[in-house]
Amino acid sequence: MSVSRFPEGFLWGGATAANQVEGAYNKDGKGLSIFDMVTFVPKEKRGNMAMEVRSEEELNARLNGEMGDNFPKRRGVDFYHRYKEDIALFAEMGFKTYRLSISWPRIFPNGDELEPNEAGLEFYDRVFDELAKYNIEPLVTISHYEMPLHLVQKYNGWEDRRLIEFFVRYAETLFSRYKDKVKYWLTFNEINISSISPYIGSGMLVDHLENREQAIYQALHHQFVASARAVKACHATIPDAKIGCMLARMEVYPETCHPDDVLAALEEDQKNLFYTDVQVRGKYPSYMKKYFKDNHIELKMEPGDEEIIANYPVDFLSFSYYMSMVASGSSDKKKEKGNFFSGVKNPYLEASDWGWQIDPKGMRITMKKMYDRYQVPLFVVENGLGAYDEVEPDGSINDDYRIDYLRAHIDEMGKAIEEGVEVMGYTSWGCIDLISASTSEMSKRYGFIYVDQDDYGNGTLERKKKKSFDWYKKVIATNGADLS
Ligand code: BGP
């Protein structure tokens, strides 16, 4: 067997988010979250994503049940009651880490109260204790699209500066409660999502906004400050912890070598790396200041904001990577739908059933680029293939397409490591089948573990190992040396 390219102690594992797996949306004092309000919409009716709530009227219609009653994220896959069984399966695969998020409204049901909900805290104590039994390190996302709905209704989410205090109180509660159990933290999942979905990224109802872009960047500013304050609090409370940011990374290629296309790709790339420029380098980049000026965006900052961002950058950069994009200098190019973002079709790549253009080499390219730019450790915290799976009459699930996807990406990550990129770990997305973020489908599956449930919540919830389960087990057992 060949020698592993992956460092000793490399954190292999899988990733999920509370809103997509837990269910039990109103149990033990949990408040409603933003994603509890998103209904399932059949494919023919929705295009490629359906997660935005735009106005108070719409929100109320959802609360009153006027928009149907199929809210898949309320049921998840019942991890809340089945976490022991699920963690045992992760342990069987040899996971070194499990990335999960904490549901903010389980801890602070409304988001703005002073005291946390003890029953919510106890649930995660139980989960962390279960992980500890198997020596699985938790990697915790503090906010993964689970803002308490009350913060939308009362404050219009992150548009309001008071959210900083609420978030910091929540984060500090987690740090002091779990300081002996959790050493790896992430502040905001895919912090760049607000530009696509202000509701999911920032809890803002857009119809209420006078100037959408201004509000988005203001909300982001509040998140940057909140994130830096969480970094400060984390280091103060848990000196041996590491805390990172999380970006939905979009590597952008020029459509041709025409300088207009190259420039367009560079500018798209800057739009994506703006977030990590702030969170890793600790300041707003000059190209963004120019963009704000040209677009009449004026951020309201308070004294001390720039200092806190500068003084408390993240320890590492984590990201999701599913595909690459193409930019064209000419504006009339057909757009390809993707993971919340869009670009021009790449004729050299195949796409998934959801139109996401599969590009393993792009992952190496992007890792090299980000490491060159930031010189901090990277952590691949999401990567994977959403696909329809078939259960054969004998009960087996032969997901060779998923193995092919993961193998090719892990191989490219290995090459990036050989070329000197520092990588802490790899957690494939949706290690157990879960509810899709963008479409609320159950039938868009990512897991090594199949869950018997359909888009309407029918099924036994029984867990079954797919073919990829044993494959990933071998990958971990050989520290990535055997990808066959
Ligand atoms: C990321 C999110 C995840 C996840 C993944 C796959 O953007 O952080 O929550 O779901 O994408 O997306 P989807 O579920 O839409 O296929």
- d(C-alpha 409, C-alpha 199), whole Å: 31
Q: Is residue 188 part of a domain?
A: yes
- Closest residue to atom 9 of ligand 1, CA basis: 437
What CATH number does residue 313 fall under? Answer: 3.20.20.80
Query: Which residues, 6 or more positions from 182, have their beta carbon under 8 angstroms from its beta carbon?
Result: 128, 138, 140, 174, 238, 241
Q: Is residue 249 part of a domain?
A: yes
Domain that holds residue 281: 11-477
Q: What is the Å distance from ligand 1's center to 438 Cα? A: 6
Catalytic residue among 130, 159, 190, 251: 190
Q: Name which of 231, 229, 223, 230 is nearest 160 in CA terms.
A: 223
pLDDT in tens, 328-387: 998 655 455 555 555 789 999 999 999 899 999 999 999 999 999 999 999 999 999 999
Q: What is the pLDDT along the chain (484 residues), one digit of tens a residue?
A: 578 999 999 999 999 999 999 999 999 999 999 999 999 988 777 766 688 899 999 999 999 989 888 999 999 999 999 999 999 999 999 999 999 999 999 999 999 999 999 999 999 999 999 999 999 999 999 999 999 999 999 999 999 999 999 999 999 999 999 999 999 999 999 999 999 899 999 999 999 788 999 999 999 999 999 999 999 999 999 999 999 999 999 999 999 999 999 999 999 999 999 999 999 999 999 999 999 999 999 999 999 999 999 999 999 999 999 999 999 998 655 455 555 555 789 999 999 999 899 999 999 999 999 999 999 999 999 999 999 999 999 999 999 999 999 999 999 999 999 999 999 999 999 999 999 999 999 999 999 999 999 999 999 999 999 999 999 999 999 999 999 9
Q: Is residue 80 part of a domain?
A: yes
**Residue 130 is a catalytic residue:** no
Q: Is residue 456 part of a domain?
A: yes
Q: Is residue 391 part of a domain?
A: yes
What is the gyration radius of the CA atoms in the chain, in angstroms? 21
Tell whether ligand 1 has an atom less than 6 A from the beta carbon of residue 272.
no
Q: What is the Å distance from ligand 1's center to 187 Cα? A: 17
- d(C-alpha 424, C-alpha 183), whole Å: 13
Q: In total, how many domains does the chain have?
A: 1
Q: What is the Å distance from ligand 1's center to 399 Cα? A: 19
- Closest residue to atom 15 of ligand 1, CA basis: 438
Tokens 């915790």 correspond to 140
Catalytic residue among 159, 255, 382, 412: 382
Query: Which residues, 6 or more positions from 106, have their beta carbon under 8 angstroms from its beta carbon?
Result: 18, 28, 29, 30, 31, 117, 120, 123, 124
Most informative mutation of 382, 443, 445 for ligand 1 (most atoms within 8 A of CB): 382
Q: Is residue 483 part of a domain?
A: no
Query: Which residues, 6 or more positions from 7, have their beta carbon under 8 angstroms from its beta carbon?
Result: 417, 423
- Closest residue to atom 5 of ligand 1, CA basis: 437
User: Residue 120, Cβ neighbours under 10 Å: how many?
Assistant: 23
Q: Is residue 482 part of a domain?
A: no
Q: Is residue 308 part of a domain?
A: yes
**Residue 382 is a catalytic residue:** yes
- Closest residue to atom 11 of ligand 1, CA basis: 437
Q: What is the Å distance from ligand 1's center to 436 Cα? A: 6
Tell whether ligand 1 has an atom less than 6 A from the beta carbon of residue 440.
no
Tell whether ligand 1 has an atom less than 6 A from the beta carbon of residue 445.
no
Q: What is the Å distance from ligand 1's center to 249 Cα? A: 12
Per-residue pLDDT, 362: 98
Tell whether ligand 1 has an atom less than 6 A from the beta carbon of residue 156.
no
Atom of ligand 1 nearest to the CA of 49: 15
Q: How far is CA 276 from CA 188, 252, 313, in A?
A: 12, 16, 10
Most informative mutation of 339, 379, 444 for ligand 1 (most atoms within 8 A of CB): 339
Atom of ligand 1 nearest to the CA of 145: 9
- Closest residue to atom 14 of ligand 1, CA basis: 436
- d(C-alpha 250, C-alpha 196), whole Å: 13
Q: What is the Å distance from ligand 1's center to 61 Cα? A: 26
